[in-house]
């Protein structure tokens, strides 16, 4: 089948896509990570785009799949609805670049994302067949759901700067929403 006839689906930050049959799922990653999961026997594949590892703040953001655990579970559930079985899933994973210019003590955002993804796959016994993590660049990922091949292009500075701008903007929005939250009441319970 010619690649011209295969649908191309772009997966933005906080999005995911699962499908049966041929498609090319693509995304652009900076410090974010993507898991490309597939069940060869069922012919089902999917990709997500994880921005942050912490839990979703549903009071401020409706795209809870921007956050690690939720993004993985929703993708797996969507794939299972199409006939995949959790125990047959395999993975290829990408991203986690050190592209944000922020002072950091400890792990960078990209390293935290990679650590989360590796731990999740290990805990769920999902074999990681291929990966490309870290480095000072962004990546364009093209996942072919009919062959399970992933093509990675490390990007030039111009595209890297566009990705940095998008990620910084979202990180600032998250920080501002947390800074403006008012403290809630505390209720203590006795044993």
Q: pLDDT (tens digit, 9 = 90+) per residue, 147-157? A: 999 999 997 66
Q: Answer yes or no: are the C-beta atoms of 70 and 7 closer than 8 Å.
A: no
Nearest residue to 30 (alpha-carbon basis) of 18, 12, 9, 15? 12
**CATH number, residue 43:** 3.30.1330.200
Low-confidence stretches of the chain (pLDDT < 70) are 1-3, 54-66, 100-105, 156-161, 163-164, 174-191
Q: Which residue has the tokens 């693509």?
A: 26
| Strands 90-95 and 8-10, bridge-based pairing | unpaired
Strand partners for 18: 46
Residue-range definition of the domain harbouring residue 24: 3-161
Nearest residue to 47 (alpha-carbon basis) of 169, 142, 182? 142
Percent of the chain with pLDDT over 90: 53
Q: How far apart are CA 168 and CA 171, in angstroms?
A: 5
User: Which pLDDT belongs to residue 169?
Assistant: 76
Q: How far apart are CA 32 and CA 7, in angstroms?
A: 24
Q: How far apart are CA 165 and CA 160, in angstroms?
A: 9
Is residue 38, in this structure, part of any structural domain at all? yes
Q: Could you tell me the two tokens for 132?
A: 């490309």
Residue pLDDT, tens place only, 69-111: 889 999 999 999 999 999 999 999 999 998 766 655 677 888 9
Is residue 183, in this structure, part of any structural domain at all? no
Q: Answer yes or no: are the C-beta atoms of 97 and 134 closer than 8 Å.
A: yes
Radius of gyration of the chain (CA): 18
Is residue 54, in this structure, part of any structural domain at all? yes
Q: How far apart are CA 70 and CA 63, in angstroms?
A: 10
Q: How far apart are CA 151 and CA 184, in angstroms?
A: 47
Is residue 154, in this structure, part of any structural domain at all? yes
Number of structural domains the chain divides into = 1
| Strands 33-39 and 128-133, bridge-based pairing | unpaired
């Amino acid at each position: 089948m010619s690649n011209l006839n295969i649908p191309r689906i772009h997966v933005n930050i906080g999005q995911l896509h699962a499908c049966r049959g041929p498609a090319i799922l693509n995304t652009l990653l900076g410090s974010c990570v993507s898991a490309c999961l597939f069940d060869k026997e069922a012919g089902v594949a999917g990709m997500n785009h994880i921005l942050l590892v912490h839990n979703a703040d549903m009071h401020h953001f409706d795209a809870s799949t921007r956050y690690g655990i939720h993004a993985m579970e929703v993708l797996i559930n969507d794939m299972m609805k199409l006939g995949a079985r959790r125990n047959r899933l395999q993975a290829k994973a990408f991203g986690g670049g050190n592209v944000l210019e922020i002072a950091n003590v400890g792990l960078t955002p990209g390293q935290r994302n990679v650590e989360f993804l590796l731990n999740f796959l290990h805990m769920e016994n999902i074999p990681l067949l291929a990966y490309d993590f870290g480095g000072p660049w962004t990546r364009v990922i093209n996942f072919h759901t009919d062959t399970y091949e992933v093509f990675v292009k490390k990007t030039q500075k111009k595209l890297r700067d566009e990705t940095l701008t998008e990620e910084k903007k979202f990180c600032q929005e998250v920080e501002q929403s947390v800074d403006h939250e008012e403290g809630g009441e505390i209720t203590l319970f006795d044993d």
